[in-house]
Structure 1
Amino acid sequence: MEWTCEAPRDNVFAAFTEKEQLEAWWGPEGWETMIKTFEFQPGGVWHYCMRCVDPAQGDFYGMESWGKAIFRHIDSPNTYSHADYFSDASGAISEHLPGSENVTTFLDLGETTLIVFESTYETEAAVQEVLGMGMKEGFTSQLYRLDRLLTKR
């Protein structure tokens, strides 16, 4: 997936790699994110909870979704990679939901930044499972939230 932000690369990279900024936009519309652990370094852990706070989202209202990432490689402000998993509140990785390996690249286009997201799953069935859970729509929604955050800055 690719996304263009109307902001310089350093600002966009910071929005992905600074805890306070990440909490302000990560998660789909109507959800809030609380980061329990954020260690932006190779081998570091990012453990977070997204919680639906929008009553208009029906059965999703009040739902929590925990995630855990482990950073693999960092080349600031160009790229970073991480493993991404569903987890529980204690940080235990789900054995029932698929994980992925991800590379996020930030291309400097002057006053704009092209972000390239690459995710690899073990099987096509795993890809279909996360797509069926609304991952594409949720991720797109949060990128619009990122755009609004960057516009404010």
Structure 2
Amino acid sequence: MTNQNTAKQMVSKVEGSTLVLERVFNAPRELVFKAFSEAEHLKHWWGPKGWTLPVCNVDFRPGGTWHYCMKCEDKNQGDFYGMESWGKALYREITVPEQIVYTDWFSDAEGNIAENMPETLVTLDFVEQDGKTKLVNTAQYATAEALQTVLDMGMLQGMSETLDNLDTHLENVQKSS
């Protein structure tokens, strides 16, 4: 199954227990990489529309963690308004500015992993393309059912909106520099 939404530019492909998302950003690879590796960048764009990142602790090194909280600040999102969603990542491999590999979990505020939720092995590849950057986000789940669980939670829409936020952030950073 492949879905391409030309307005949003994100391409998604599901193959068994793997989800691949691709999007091209009009920004240099080094900047896109920094946007994923520095808390000061992540705070400005990580999360779907209407959500903020009030907590973002990044220890960006192999073996380091990223612990964060997304919070819904949009009253128009009904039951989601005021909701917090905690996540935790463990960085496995980092090749600046080409690749970040990490394991991602749902967690609580203390960083305890939610055992009842799927674990994801995420590989982010940053590909230089004539001054632009193609991001290839490969998410591997233990089973196709685990992937379906997060798809049913609206993950594709959330990631599309998150990457839209990143696009806006990258534009703003480049304008101000």
Q: Which category of TM-score, normalised to the shorter sequence, fits these structures?
A: over 0.9
Distance (Å, rounded) in 1 between the aligned partners of 2:139 and 2:68: 19
- Moved segments of 4+, more than 6 Å: none
Distance (Å, rounded) in 2 between the aligned partners of 1:80 and 1:64: 25
* 1:88 aligned residue: 108
Distance (Å, rounded) in 1 between the aligned partners of 2:170 and 2:57: 23
Change (3 A) 1:36 1:114: closer
The one of 136, 146, 149 aligned to 1:126 = 146
Normalising by structure 2, what TM-score?
0.85
Shift of 1:37: 2.2
Shift of 1:35: 3.2
Count of matched residue positions in the alignment of Structure 1 and Structure 2: 153
* 1:136 aligned residue: 156
Contact kept in structure 1, 2:119 and 2:141, CA below 8 Å: yes
Deviations 1:30-71 (A, max 9, x none): 000133421000000100000000000000000000000000
RMSD: 0.7
Give secondary structure in 1 for the equivalent of 2:41.
helix
Which ranges in structure 2 are unaligned for 5 or more consecutive residues?
Answer: 1-20
Q: Percent identity?
A: 46
Normalising by structure 1, what TM-score?
0.98
Distance (Å, rounded) in 2 between the aligned partners of 1:25 and 1:36: 11
1:8 aligned to 2:28? yes
